[in-house]
Chain A
Amino acid sequence: MSKNNIKVALIGNPNTGKTSLFNQLTGLTQKVGNYPGVTVDKKQGTSKLSATQNAIITDLPGTYSINPTSVDESIVLKTLLKKDIKESPDVILVVADVENLKRNLLLFSQIKDLEIPTVLAINMVDQMSRKGISIDLTALKEELNTEVVLISARKNRGIEAVKAAIIKCHIAAKATPMCDNNKIDPAYFDQLKAINPNYTLYELWLMVTQKNFPEGISKQEKEQLLSFNKDVSKLRRYQHKETIYRYQEINKVLKKTYLVDKSKATDVRAKLDKIFTHKIFGYFIFLLVLLLIFQAIFDWSSLPMDLIDTTFAQLSDFARSNLPVGVFSDLIVEGIIPGIGGVIIFIPQIAILFLFIAVLEETGYMSRVVFLMDKIMRRFGMNGKSVIPLISGTACAIPAIMATRTISSWKERLITILVVPFTTCSARLPVYAILISLIIPETKIFGFYNLQAFTLLMLYALGFVTAILSAYILQRTLKIKSNSFFVVEMPNYKLPSMKNVLFDVLEKTKAFVLGAGKIILALSVVLWFLASNGPESYKNAEKNTLEKAENEHLGSDALLQKVASAKLESSYIGIMGKSIEPAIRPLGYDWKIGIALITSFAAREVFVGTLATIYSVGSDDENTTTIKEKMRSEINPATGKKIFNFPAGMSLLVFYAFAMQCMATLAIVKRETKTWKWPLIQLFGMTGLAYICSLIVFQILK
């Protein structure tokens, strides 16, 4: 059966319920992979069409046309132009929204001209009577010369009919074009058609206009096609003409088959829009939504995070007491298990944030936020669509950077990518938490507001303000021309479908775990190696400490901790910490903090665990008070003052707010910008800024 799977490409405008249909057709068989050579995720799933026939369904990114204007959309073109038997679809399933059928048919008409068997699924037909729409299905099938199915994907209606239509369409293998570009300029298009008759006229036309060539095109043919491309203004004129012509054809069809009785239409949209885009209430509601999201991230995630923390600590203990003593066991207990734990611990916060973003997008509210924020963001070189990445950045920069793909202006997208890591991500929180509790007194300001909480809030504000300001500077300094313009569809308001929301959260969380997780895990193992190995002196550290401690009458736990601390000091990483000490001394740090700064490159929250090891306390939960006590009483031998005093603590807070310390983020930026230039600029720019600001803070407060 697997050999005869029908390959179906699912395509449609955004906001047509394409995702709902995909979820209904494939359920839990979905897998996210990568398109070769490009960075956009490829969603695939299997659907049982009949007792004997399966289909592999590929969900292509939502698009209004085959002519792409963003990274997401260019995938559609690339997939459809392929003539590779393994990759190219047997049947294309176009999803359309019944209310916007005219506009949706534009994409359909383009698809049809590729001459691949096509099924049209008209979605949300349960809304028809409420909107006063009626469709003559038989006539529509005839006019469009294709299989047409009326469905309501959210209500799971018409899904079987879609499956039957796919089979029928596949067997008939009938594929006729809908429009004929030849009518625009017969001489010009005849000449184009003559280049390679194996391709349809429209495919050749796409190669000319989009400069996108499938592998089967020979060098000579490619040159011929490129020579067609030379007269840019003519191309533009013909593309415009083509679009008008397509709409004329669509209007002809719809006139005979589609009727709207406007008197029946009841519109909630206008009323809701008045509130959500109101010049005062609009921003006020957005602020409330943001506060609700942050509140939820903190409140809902603390329980599962504690649970994960203790589980992994127990797992480590269990492994230690059950595995034979040796390097391999150490690798598992000290490298791999905490490494995996360090990734898993972020899942609650990230999942909750994605949950909110998915709900806001599903309901249509996100487009209103884009509308409200575009002008403000544009002053800083970004785009209304940059708001979503900036919010996502408060959980993790990695999914936030991936969320920039919908921004079609390259300059605005690049600036968003570059400044997102300034927003306070969840990995900074444990660091902030411990430092704040050390240096900020637990007093109330204005009689009610906790000063520690206020400091945390200020750090969040610092992150946002720095992101916005650096965007402003980048806008002025980056010499990039990008002439794509801004358009956002304002979809109808809808109740979110829980199934879609949950699938979305699942998919994005999985992408985080697999993407960032690999790097965090690998780095934890490398750091473990550097911390548990060292030159000659390392090997003697244990013996020397034991000898020295002989007359101190320490308990066995305290002794073990002392040994661990001495070993770390003489390990490779200890040596690295000591060698950077001269550079970080002006910031108020010693070599121990230096070690923590280096290990923070795996993930910032490793800071706490590293200090716990250095100050020789166990790193399980009950001991956080002891870490704090140890840190509080730590004396800098050079100055005789406490290390974690107010100036040094503030300097560290500022350093963690600004510095680029996340390898996983750098890797994603490289992937998205396709060059090392931008991640390197981030690494040195952000860390340089962190150094300078921390230096100023420490020197002033000292």
Chain B
Amino acid sequence: MSPVNLLLAVGARSLRLVESLGHAAVFFRELVRHTPAALRRFDLSVAQIYAIGNLSLVIIIMSGAAVGGVLALQAYYALDRYGAAESVGLLVALSLLRELGPVLTALLFAGRAGTSLTAEIGLMKAGEQLAAMEMMAVDPRSRVLAPRFIAGIVSMPLLSAIFSAVGVTAAYAIAVKLIGIDSAAFWSQMQDGVDVFKDVGNGLVKTIVFGIASTFVALYMGYESEATPEGVAQATTGTVVISSVTVLILDFLLTSLMFSTRP
């Protein structure tokens, strides 16, 4: 390809990217705009919280336990060399609360709940269900999209808290019950080093931001998907990829803002 053609191709691609970013921004605005109406019909959101939150509990709990346990093991091997084995609890708790809880929950959420949202919205659009709703003078944005948006934002922090709590419990089981570290030391080291506002609070803020981002991406990809089986399949993989990358980038930004070493 000649250099000029290459440049044109890159330019065209970039313009399309900017266009879709603008499109996405408008979609986000519409989601937010219709949230109050959806809050008034809270039963719709409750049904969605069940679909997104409750049904993700199993994978979140299992992953939380696994991560907490593994972290405890790895941390023990490393810390024991410096005679600091009793800090295992502290290390696991900080890792989970500040980073792994929010981020891993968001990634799992994107995979399980995000893809199901994308597929559902995509198929509803393909089957003209959203158009039919509009023709019946019911705004699909308040009735279908916004409740799912609300459900995602509510579910994420809850799931993340459960993830971290299960992780800490698993770490306790491994460190105290299996390895034999003193239980009192385990908890006191942790409590001394974990700050409610800085660690638990910031972690919570992160999950809310991640929840907004992942749910928005999932809904957008579903809404804009092509009305074919391939289109929906592409959209679901797109959701996982874009959600994950967005969460990781946001995590970096938030971490540098929250946990800076400046006083």
| Mutual binders A and B | no
Q: Using a CB–CB distance below 8 Å, which chain A residues touch chain B? A: none
